[in-house]
């Protein structure tokens, strides 16, 4: 984060100097919620209190937390979510956002189903178009890069062959 938002660097360094265990996990006395508070939220708030953050003038900083449901300690997850919600409730204009992906789990859903949090269900999302787009880009890249495929194209035409069943 400090590489993208250099205004935060001195505050992150100070937090680690005050509590070196913050950069190591798991440490019995260091929770994920505490790490987020001391290494993300507090430095972000301190940096914005000094003035506008130049690198975030056009867009907020995005943190992605993927697979939250895979964490074994449900209480730790609840503490993380509660800390996050409290921070954003107290600091709604901080240019920071968190994108969480998770399967629907009661202990997560119940904490995130609050005003200010946007929940999206992907249960009915069909990824066929996403996969087709990905493969089209991959094939195009290979057509340009791969000499064997370029030779095939010179002799036979298109690759992959049009009309092949693309129901991957």
Structure confidence at residue 42 (pLDDT)? 96
Query: How many domains does one find in the chain?
Result: 2
Which domain-ending residue is among 88, 112, 136?
112
Same domain for 73 and 41, yes or no, is yes
Is 117 among the domain residues?
Answer: no
Domain end, chosen from 69, 88, 112, is at 112
**Cα(54)–Cα(5) distance, rounded to whole angstroms?**
8
pLDDT tens digit string along 20-75? Answer: 888 776 666 778 899 999 999 999 999 999 988 888 888 899 999 998 888 888 88
- Give yes or no: residues 86 and 139 share one domain: no
Please tell me whether residues 77 and 15 are part of one structural domain.
yes
The predicted-structure confidence for 67-110, as pLDDT tens digits, reads as follows 888 888 888 899 999 999 999 999 999 999 999 888 878 888 88
Whole-model pTM: value is 0.69
**Long-range contacts of residues 76-82, Cβ cutoff 8 Å, at least 24 apart:** 76/31, 76/32, 76/33, 77/107, 77/108, 78/107, 78/111, 79/31, 79/32, 79/33, 80/31, 80/32, 80/33, 80/36, 81/108, 81/111, 81/112, 82/33, 82/111
Domain carrying residue 134: 126-168
State which of 83, 112, 141 marks the end of a domain.
Answer: 112
Residues 166 and 106 in one domain: no
Q: Are residues 93 and 33 in the same domain?
A: yes
Give the integer Cα–Cα distance in Å for 149 and 146.
Answer: 5
């Amino acid at each position: 984060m400090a590489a993208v938002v250099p205004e935060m660097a001195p505050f992150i360094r100070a937090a680690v100097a005050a509590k070196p265990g913050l950069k190591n996990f798991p440490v019995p006395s260091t929770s994920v919620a505490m790490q987020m508070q001391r290494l993300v939220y507090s430095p972000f708030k301190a940096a914005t209190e000094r003035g506008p953050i130049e690198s975030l003038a056009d867009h907020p900083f995005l943190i992605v937390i993927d697979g939250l449901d895979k964490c074994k300690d449900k209480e730790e997850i609840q503490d993380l979510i509660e800390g996050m919600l409290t921070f954003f409730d107290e600091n709604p204009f901080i240019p920071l956002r968190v994108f969480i992906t998770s399967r629907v789990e009661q202990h997560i859903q119940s904490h995130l189903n609050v005003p200010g949090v946007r929940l999206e269900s992907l249960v009915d999302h069909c990824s066929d178009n996403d996969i087709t787009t990905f493969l089209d880009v991959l094939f195009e890249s290979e057509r340009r890069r791969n000499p064997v495929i370029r030779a095939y194209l010179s002799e036979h035409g298109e690759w992959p062959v049009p009309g092949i069943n693309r129901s991957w």
